[in-house]
Amino acid sequence: MVKATKPPAARTPGTLSTAGLVAITLLTFLAVWTAVAAGRWSPRFSSGTGNPAPTPTPTVEPPPPPIDALPDGYGLSMRGLVLGLLVVMAGLAVVGLLGYGLRMVRSTWQDRAKRVEEDADGGIPGSVLAPDTAMPDVVELREGIAEAWARLAEHREPTDAIQAAWVAVEDAAGRSGVPREDSATPTEFTVAVLDRTEVDPAAIRTLLGLYHRARYSTHGATVADVELAGRCLTTLAEGLDA
C-alpha cells in the first residue's frame, strides 16, 4: 500500500529565509564599518572648469606713521601764550582809551585858552546892563581896586593871586549900584560897569584875560602875569581918580 506524502508547504511571498536575513545583516554591518573607517565624507562640486579658482591674496595695508607725543607741559605753555596775548590786547585797549581821554581833555583846554585870548583881545558881547542904568559908585570901585592890589600881593602863587584880584574887582562891581541883566555873567557885568567910567577899556579886558588864563589854562599863571595884572590895576585906579 503506497503512503501518500505531504507536499512541502508553499513559501509565502515577502518572507525571507534565515540565510537571507543573515546576509543582509552582514552587508549592512560591512557598509557601516567602511564608512567609519573612511572618515567624514563631503561632496565636491565642480565649478565647470578644469582649473581650480585662484585663492585671493590679502592686501597688506602699510602701518600709519607714528604720531609724535606732545612734550610735557605743552598745554600749560599754550595757555600761558593765550593769556599773554589777552593781557597785551587789554593793555593796548587801556592805552588807547587813556590816549583818547587825554586828547579830549587837551582839546577842551585848548578851546578854553582860545576863548581866553579872544576875551583879552575883543569886547564883551551884547549889552549886560539894564537900560537907563545909573552910573556906578566910583568909591566902591576904588575900594575894589585897592582890595585887588592887596590880594595880588598876599598870594605867593601867581594863579591864586590873579584869581583873587579879579574876584575883588568883580565884587566891587556888584556893590556899585548898577543892576545886572539876568543873562549877564559876573565877568561880563564887571567889564560893562567899568566901561561906564573913565578907565582904560584895554586895562580891564587885559585883566580879564589874565583871570581866564589863570583859571582855565593847563599851565596856570606866571610871575610875569602877576606883574602885568599889577599894571592893569594901576591903570584902573588912575582912571577912577580922574
**The pLDDT of residue 225:** 94
pLDDT tens digits, 157-172 = 999 999 999 999 999 9
Overall average pLDDT of the 148-154 stretch: 93
* pLDDT band at residue 125 using 50, 70 and 90 as cut-offs: very low
* pLDDT band at residue 14 using 50, 70 and 90 as cut-offs: very low
Q: Distance between CA 132 and CA 130 in Å, rounded?
A: 6
Q: What is the mean pLDDT of the chain?
A: 75
**The pLDDT of residue 53:** 60
**The pLDDT of residue 52:** 60
- Range with the lowest mean pLDDT among 8-17, 46-55, 207-216, 233-242? 8-17
- Range with the lowest mean pLDDT among 23-32, 72-81, 136-145? 72-81
**36, pLDDT greater than 60:** no
**110, pLDDT greater than 80:** no
* pLDDT band at residue 147 using 50, 70 and 90 as cut-offs: very high
- Reported for 223-232, long-range contacts at CB under 8 A and 24+ positions apart, including other chains, are 223/158, 225/158, 225/162, 226/152, 226/158, 226/161, 226/162, 229/152, 229/161, 229/162, 229/165, 230/149, 230/152, 232/203, 232/204, 232/206, 232/207
**30, pLDDT greater than 60:** yes
* CATH of 112-241 given 3.40.50, 1.20.120, 1.20.1070, 3.40.630: 1.20.120
In this structure, what DSSP letter does residue 129 have? B
This prediction's pTM: 0.49
**131, pLDDT greater than 70:** no
